[in-house]
Structure 1
């Protein structure tokens, strides 16, 4: 964490590296097949259809925050997963650095990238916050910060803000009764059996706390998307 980014009040959470490693293990070893199916056109259950529809809507919301023409722009797709957002960004003309902790998901994203776009995308398996990725015009982090508490989000945004000239658009898991129940239930499972648990945040409270902590000067709540079992809030660090 940068020295200028103080811990938000009442923040209690797992250190970033430990959570990142657990996310990597889950998506690279346990859930790769499920994720590949969910992000394709293959038939899925009703529950997963609601998640798919919610993710489609959220992707559209996040893309609407960036210019339609991204020619010449360098964009970080932080936590690119199977590459749907990456393909959209590249189709707008951006040079995309697509990063994910899961090498297997990176391979899926690379295979699925439409013809004509590979020259615009650099796929990287690793930490989305690695400073070696360089500087960017914009950053998009769709559902890749939802496993982290306020201290880690503070650190991530502080770091990315120092390397981004335009907008940082990201999502958090909102603090709703359903998500709080899921979060509590997840904590009851033995650690070895747990999927990465989303950390719920009240977006406006998070915005206030991160601004007070000096992580960002401004933080905007854009839109909440709720589709069955998919609930996520889009937020933005403006230019």
Structure 2
């Protein structure tokens, strides 16, 4: 099994069996602890930043939300007028997203449980992937961007955890735990890592680093990939 597939399966098991209730609460309006409040605030800021990379009017556009979680990004895209395909590896999170979808958006969002690309069909005008690529190596991220470039005409906006001393220390500590006790471990990296992997795989396109969001225990970098751009 490839490293991507093995990591994807660990992510599915973690969110479906261990973290569903945590993420349901974190992504709601329910009160949370101080630490989780910083994560919630950071994710809200990151969502706004990613949406700012796309047109404000998405009427007539088909947009992929790759790793949609409980659906907040998909809902915002649909409000802008997009026809959204929202896919997540966790059926449990997809179930929560369906329940939370505003009734006036019925028919505008297609909720799909499965691999972020294999479970979808057809082409897209844009794609977003908020904190859903953070568990993968740079070569795996590059390969996924290459696959997406064949079907995404415009921007692929995504996030990666930056290679900071604090995150590198957490990454090393996480690898010390027995495999059975591990949650999926973020893989800190930077734009150069992914750009190098794209070149090594002969995947054409333009990769841009947009902005880093840091809010307490939340730290992530927004990036944009446009495939086939010279």
TM-score (norm 1): 0.91
Quick check: 1:79–1:100 contact (8 Å CA) kept in 2?
yes
Number of the residue aligned with 1:120: 108
Number of the residue aligned with 2:181: 193
Query: How far apart are 1:131 and its partner, in Å?
Result: 6.5
Aligned residues: 226
Distance in 2 (alpha carbons) for counterparts of 1:216 and 1:107: 36
Of 154, 166, 173, 1:178 maps to 166
1:235 and 2:188 equivalent? no
Q: Which has the higher contact order (CA 8 A, sep 6+)?
A: 1
Query: How far apart are 1:204 and its partner, in Å?
Result: 3.3
Task: Write out per-residue CA displacement over residues 97-149 of structure 1, whole angstroms, 9 at most, x where no aligned residue.
Answer: 00001001001001111121021010000000216422100000000100000
Number of the residue aligned with 2:63: 75
Distance in 1 (alpha carbons) for counterparts of 2:22 and 2:176: 23
What secondary structure is seen at the aligned counterpart in 2 of 1:226?
Answer: strand
Quick check: 1:28–1:104 contact (8 Å CA) kept in 2?
yes
Give the RMSD, CA atoms, in angstroms.
1.3
What secondary structure is seen at the aligned counterpart in 1 of 2:48?
Answer: helix
Of 7, 15, 20, 1:32 maps to 20
Aligned ranges 1:39-58 → 2 under 5 Å: 39-58=27-46
1:164 and 2:122 equivalent? no
1:146 and 2:130 equivalent? no
1:109 and 2:97 equivalent? yes
Distance in 2 (alpha carbons) for counterparts of 1:216 and 1:233: 22
Query: How far apart are 1:205 and its partner, in Å?
Result: 3.8
Distance in 2 (alpha carbons) for counterparts of 1:53 and 1:173: 16
Which runs of structure 1 show a deviation greater than 3 angstroms over 4 or more consecutive aligned residues?
Answer: none
| Structure 1 residues 216 and 48: alpha-carbon distance in aligned structure 2, compared to 1, 3 A threshold | farther
Distance in 2 (alpha carbons) for counterparts of 1:211 and 1:71: 34
In the alignment, structure 2 segments of 5+ residues that lack a partner are none
Moved more, 142-151 or 203-212: 203-212
TM-score (norm 2): 0.95
Distance in 1 (alpha carbons) for counterparts of 2:92 and 2:120: 21
Task: Write out per-residue CA displacement over residues 181-215 of structure 1, whole angstroms, 9 at most, x where no aligned residue.
Answer: 11011111111110000011022343344245422
Number of the residue aligned with 2:8: 20
Of 189, 199, 204, 1:216 maps to 204
Distance in 2 (alpha carbons) for counterparts of 1:108 and 1:160: 26
